Amino acid sequence: DTANKIGTYSLALVAKAHQIPFFVAAPLSTVDFKLESGEQIPIEERDPIELYQIGNTRLCPEGVEFYNPAFDVTPAALITAIITESGAIPPQELKQFSP
């Protein structure tokens, strides 16, 4: 699995629906080989005000709750390969590159 900016997971789903390969470009130094799955990736949350306020104008009623993650997790099953300095590596083969 991989974490990237919001929208990456959606793009991977669209690619799969249209049978288009989906690649991730990342150096091996950014891979956390200790994690078993994307569920363990900590996701940074951005300030909810970004969603409900423009300038001094609130766009929704008080009391509405928001979740504003900065990243989403794309499951390995949607990734064709991860392009690294060692070449294009299918997700299921990534563990063999663990230091």
- The CATH class for the domain spanning 2-97 reads alpha beta
Number of Cβ within a 10 Å radius of residue 66: 13
Residue 26, pLDDT above cutoff 90: yes
**Model confidence pLDDT, tens digit, residues 33-48:** 999 888 899 999 999 9
Task: Give this prediction's pTM.
Answer: 0.81
Identify the DSSP state of 90.
-
31 vs 96: CA distance, rounded Å:
12
The secondary structure of residue 69, as a DSSP letter, is B
Confidence (pLDDT) at 99: 82
Q: Residue 4: beta bridge partners?
A: 72
Parse the chain into domains and list their residue ranges.
Answer: 2-97
So what's the pLDDT on residue 37?
87
